[in-house]
């Protein structure tokens, strides 16, 4: 059971990012009308809207490299939650961007899975006192969409005395 969940998560991640990098339109059948994608804080509901979002992303060529895949059985019979971390190299950019993406996979009657929940975030570096690293961090922020951690209202952090 445990091994099967790991295999599903890993196989899904390999499949998903291979399609994303080489034939992005082929991702669309992985979603269904009730699927939800949150992309850098922007919520997108349903396969048609998700398809439109994927085709409108402001980069044509990219390459995902997976660092980690963590999978668990979900509370829904046969479902699997998968969290992937990795890096995303955009064509023409010097530095890869770190990302995390969570999927909730639900089994279909055909013996496959569809994506019920999909949450994608770029992981920005923490600024430190080194001017070189701060400059890099700012450059990465500049490449992001307008739905940054500040824009979505969650950028101020938990008050921790």
Contact footprint for a copy of itself (CB under 8 A): 2, 10, 13-14, 17-18, 21, 34, 36, 38, 41, 43, 63-70, 72-76, 79, 81, 83, 85-87, 95-98, 100, 102, 104, 106, 116-117, 119, 121, 123-126, 128, 130, 132-133, 136, 149, 152, 154-155, 157-158, 160
Q: Tokens representing 132? A: 């070189």
Which residue, 10 or 24, has its beta carbon nearer to a copy of itself? 10
Q: How far is CA 56 from CA 21, 53, 101, in A?
A: 14, 5, 19
Report the distance separating Cα 125 and Cα 88, nearest Å: 14
Which residue, 28 or 117, has its beta carbon nearer to a copy of itself? 117
Which residue, 75 or 111, has its beta carbon nearer to a copy of itself? 75
Q: What is the largest CA-CA distance in the chain?
A: 55
- Least distance to a copy of itself, CB of residue 135, Å: 11
Q: What is the DSSP string of 83-150?
A: EEEEEEEETT-SSPEEEEEEEEEEE-TTS-EEEEEEEEEEEPPPP-S-HHHHHHHHHHHHTS-S--TT
Which residue, 2 or 60, has its beta carbon nearer to a copy of itself? 2
- Least distance to a copy of itself, CB of residue 153, Å: 9
């Amino acid at each position: 059971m445990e091994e099967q969940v790991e295999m599903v998560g890993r196989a899904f991640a390999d499949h998903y990012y291979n399609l994303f990098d080489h034939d992005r339109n082929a991702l669309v059948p992985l979603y269904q009308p009730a699927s939800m994608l949150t992309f850098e804080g922007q919520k997108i509901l349903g396969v048609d809207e998700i398809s439109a979002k994927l085709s409108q992303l402001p980069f044509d060529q990219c390459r995902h490299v997976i660092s980690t895949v963590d999978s668990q059985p979900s509370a829904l019979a046969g479902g699997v939650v998968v969290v992937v971390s990795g890096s995303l190299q955009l064509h023409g950019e010097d530095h890869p961007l770190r990302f995390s993406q969570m999927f909730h996979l639900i089994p279909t009657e055909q013996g496959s899975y569809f994506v019920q929940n999909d949450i994608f975030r770029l992981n920005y570096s923490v600024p430190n006192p080194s001017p070189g690293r701060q400059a890099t961090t700012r450059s990465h922020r500049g490449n992001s969409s307008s739905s940054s951690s500040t824009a979505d209202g969650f950028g101020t952090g938990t008050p921790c005395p």
